[in-house]
Chain A
Amino acid sequence: MHQVRLYCWHFMAYPHLPADFDDRYESGWVTVPNALWDRERSSTVYREYIDQLVYAEELGFDGLVLNEHHQNVYGLMPAPNLIAAALTQRTERAELVILGNILPLHLNPLRVAEEYAMLDNMSGGRLVAGFAVGGGPEAFNYDVPQPQARKQFWEAVDLIARSWTEDGPFRHEGRHYPLRYVNPWPRPLQRPHPPIWIPGALSLETMDEVAKRGYDFFLSSRRHDAATRMAVERFADRIEAHGGAFHPYRMGILLSVYVGESDERARAESRESIWYFLRNCVKGHLRSRGRNLTFGPGVPSASMASWEAYLGRADPATNNFGDVETWEELDHWSSVIVGSPTTVRERLWRMIESFRLGVILIQFHFGNLPDDLTRKSMRLFATEVAPGLRSDSGALFAEEFPTLGEMLERPEAAA
């Protein structure tokens, strides 16, 4: 029976911001002064967060998800591979998903190929290799010119995949990364290579590049509605255009979840941390108040045609995810799901059913959520939400995708 795969995603937010942060600083990214880092209280955050991920494996989550961010309070993992390395030694079974290394920020993609191959061996073949291009904040973080960043990114992806599958040494005559000797030791354990996931927004261009290569797509959207459904259809269409077949594990989405004993209690327990996350961690990225580091002429990653289309539909004055002020608005975004086990199960099920997606990446820790509440929410989810989602999705996928088992056994037939 093929069921929905439930992952625990940890962003590792900075939890000790002052209460007046939002009034005093224009962004939680890039320019947020690191004098705010509290040495005494902060040295234990990595231990606490890694312990939570280890606990997620104990609770039966299918995988643990990490990602890369720099110079920000949203995610304290400039080097997610270090956290993954720790997890290889503390976990036994769960997939380790790094979503992903931001390739244009790395001097040489071979280093990523090498580190990922190490992690795949160290984990016994549990690595999911994610590659990301990075957005506006990352452009400012490491001075990455945006007009050529995508081409640079795909050259790096292709070089890494080739270095994992083709015997070395070989020569790479690339535009951005010309290399005379490509010959990484070690090689990854998984054959032909670890699964590759690529995050992206609604861009058809990115989906097409992902589908063309037979990789899996992660929709990095923070709003789930008809647009998510459209994204699934678009990606499925791109897969089919390249001769493949879509199935529920080809694409994933991100949700933030807090489960409490009742709706009221869930809201009461999570309220402070959710708005700490929205006001502070998201500020600079997906919030209209403060500085918008993600979209604009200063980080012109979109092609001229895409930007013109964007200008035609986007109003910069519109409230963004981080501007949400009420529970009702939050519900409308369908990205942060808070409630009793029954409520959370119903809402997640509606999405799984509507989107036909079998990869749900869940952020349980957000902002400054205390350890005990984070663990309680994860536990309630694992014991009272996950089983129902698994069995219901198993039935749904069996009906909707009768050849799923075959596609998974022979991925080349689907790719």
Chain B
Amino acid sequence: MSTRVVDVRGRAVGVIEAGGGNALVYLHDIADVHAARSGLFPFHEALAREFRVVAPAHPGCADSDENDDIETIEDVVFHLLEALDVLGIDAFALVGAGVGGWLAAEFAVRHPVRVSRLVLLGATGLYVPDQPIGDVFMAAQSTDGGKYPDFRRMLFADEDGAEALALFPDGRGEIANEMLRYGTFRFLSRVGFRPPYLYNRTLRDRLYRYDRPALVVWGREDRLAPVAHADAYVDGLGDARIEMLEGAGHSTWIERPGEVASLVAGFLKA
């Protein structure tokens, strides 16, 4: 695994790379690399055994500079385009989790020929009537003297699960990890605090433009992006299938790393 910082038109972008083979660009979420802890998680390490995993940090997250000019997801798509130019990655498999899944979908509908295959893990990004995306900003505000049960419950099926507690403990955690979380929320605030709330109303009608194979992986207990959003992605994309994980929450890649990694690797190699 290597961590490096590349210069993208005068701004630093932190990138973690691991493994070899065909390029797999991974766009992160909240309980994730660059956002909750430095370094890769078992899910990414499993993928790195078969692919060259390239995981850039969103603007303002981890080693990536903040960018005041980013106000919409469109701005982030353009930023990603520039980052990929610098990294010299032309065609690749694109795997996006949560908010990173939203970005992946936005990228794929604009540049379908560059994305050989698309994987969305609990992606936000769509407007689904009466199925609102959970308020992760409110959930991230502590209760009763620095406790985070609502935050963990938003991101995991079991708020008291070992991984949930390890990543988002009650009270003040490691300062470095707290700062990763804060940077991630500054990024999220820019693109999704003001409605449309972590979605783009026009994305759903544009999904058809990505007609290559896509895999949609969801936890049945996802409280950030309810499962109706998985159905909406599958309906909208040209060639998508769904893998629903019973009993899993939003962060399937953390909760079931082995299982989700095999699903993703199997799909990408098929």
Question: Per-residue CB proximity of A315-342 to B under 8 Å, as 1/0?
Answer: 1111000000000000000000000000
In the complex, B141 has a CB within 8 A of chain A: yes
What separation, in Å, do the CA atoms of A290 and B144 have in the docked complex? 5
Count, chain A residues at interface, CB 8 A:
33
Q: Are B189 and A317 in contact (CB under 8 A)?
A: no
Q: For window 287-319 of chain A, which residues contact chain B by CB distance below 8 Å? A: 288-293, 296-300, 304, 307-308, 311-312, 314-318
What separation, in Å, do the CA atoms of A315 and B172 have in the docked complex? 7
What separation, in Å, do the CA atoms of A292 and B136 have in the docked complex? 14
Q: Are A299 and B144 in contact (CB under 8 A)?
A: no
Q: Are B190 and A147 in contact (CB under 8 A)?
A: yes
Closest Cβ of chain A to B194, distance in Å, is 5
What separation, in Å, do the CA atoms of A148 and B75 have in the docked complex? 15
In the complex, B246 has a CB within 8 A of chain A: no
CB-defined contacts of B6 to chain A, threshold 8 Å: none
What separation, in Å, do the CA atoms of A311 and B175 have in the docked complex? 7
Select B143's contact among A144, A146, A292, A297, beta carbons within 8 Å: A292
Closest Cβ of chain B to A282, distance in Å, is 15
In the complex, A119 has a CB within 8 A of chain B: no
Select A298's contact among B140, B144, B146, beta carbons within 8 Å: B140
Q: Are B68 and A136 in contact (CB under 8 A)?
A: no
Closest Cβ of chain B to A305, distance in Å, is 10
In the complex, B247 has a CB within 8 A of chain A: no
Measured CB to CB, the nearest residue on chain A to B171 is A317
In the complex, B46 has a CB within 8 A of chain A: no
Q: For window 134-153 of chain A, which residues contact chain B by CB distance below 8 Å? A: 136, 139-140, 143-148, 151
Closest Cβ of chain A to B188, distance in Å, is 9
A289 with B141, Cβ < 8 A, contacts A145-B194, A297-B181, A304-B183 known: no
What separation, in Å, do the CA atoms of A143 and B141 have in the docked complex? 15
Closest Cβ of chain B to A323, distance in Å, is 9
Q: Are A144 and B66 in contact (CB under 8 A)?
A: no
What separation, in Å, do the CA atoms of A296 and B141 have in the docked complex? 5
What separation, in Å, do the CA atoms of A312 and B178 have in the docked complex? 11
Q: Are B190 and A307 in contact (CB under 8 A)?
A: no
What separation, in Å, do the CA atoms of A308 and B195 have in the docked complex? 28
In the complex, A392 has a CB within 8 A of chain B: no
Q: Are B145 and A289 in contact (CB under 8 A)?
A: yes
CB-defined contacts of B172 to chain A, threshold 8 Å: 311, 314-316
Q: Are A293 and B190 in contact (CB under 8 A)?
A: no
B71, B182, B194 — which one has the most chain A CB atoms within 10 A of its CB?
A: B182
CB-defined contacts of A300 to chain B, threshold 8 Å: 182, 185-186, 189
In the complex, B138 has a CB within 8 A of chain A: yes
In the complex, A237 has a CB within 8 A of chain B: no
Q: Are B175 and A292 in contact (CB under 8 A)?
A: no
What separation, in Å, do the CA atoms of A145 and B72 have in the docked complex? 12
CB-defined contacts of B144 to chain A, threshold 8 Å: 288-290
Q: Are B175 and A312 in contact (CB under 8 A)?
A: yes
Select B179's contact among A145, A146, A299, A304, beta carbons within 8 Å: A304
A146, A147, A316 — which one has the most chain B CB atoms within 10 A of its CB?
A: A147
CB-defined contacts of A26 to chain B, threshold 8 Å: 143
Q: Are B189 and A291 in contact (CB under 8 A)?
A: no
What separation, in Å, do the CA atoms of A239 and B197 have in the docked complex? 41
CB-defined contacts of A147 to chain B, threshold 8 Å: 60, 66, 68, 186, 189-190
CB-defined contacts of B185 to chain A, threshold 8 Å: 297-298, 300
Q: Are A151 and B193 in contact (CB under 8 A)?
A: no
A304 with B186, Cβ < 8 A, contacts A143-B194, A145-B194, A297-B181 known: yes
Select A308's contact among B60, B140, B143, B179, beta carbons within 8 Å: B179
Measured CB to CB, the nearest residue on chain B to A284 is B141
Closest Cβ of chain B to A333, distance in Å, is 18
Q: For window 13-40 of chain B, which residues contact chain A by CB distance below 8 Å? A: none
What separation, in Å, do the CA atoms of A289 and B138 have in the docked complex? 16
Measured CB to CB, the nearest residue on chain B to A151 is B68
What separation, in Å, do the CA atoms of A289 and B143 have in the docked complex? 7
Closest Cβ of chain B to A176, distance in Å, is 10
What separation, in Å, do the CA atoms of A146 and B60 have in the docked complex? 14
Q: For window 141-189 of chain A, which residues contact chain B by CB distance below 8 Å? A: 143-148, 151
A316 with B145, Cβ < 8 A, contacts A298-B140, A299-B137, A304-B182 known: yes
In the complex, B142 has a CB within 8 A of chain A: yes
Question: Per-residue CB proximity of A7-41 to B under 8 Å, as 1/0?
Answer: 00000000000000000001000010000000000
A-side residues, CB < 8 A to B, are 26, 31, 136, 139-140, 143-148, 151, 288-293, 296-300, 304, 307-308, 311-312, 314-318
Q: List 7 A-B contacts (CB under 8 A).
A: A143-B194, A148-B68, A288-B146, A304-B183, A308-B179, A311-B172, A316-B145
User: 4 tightest A-B contacts by CB?
Assistant: A316-B146, A298-B137, A297-B185, A298-B140
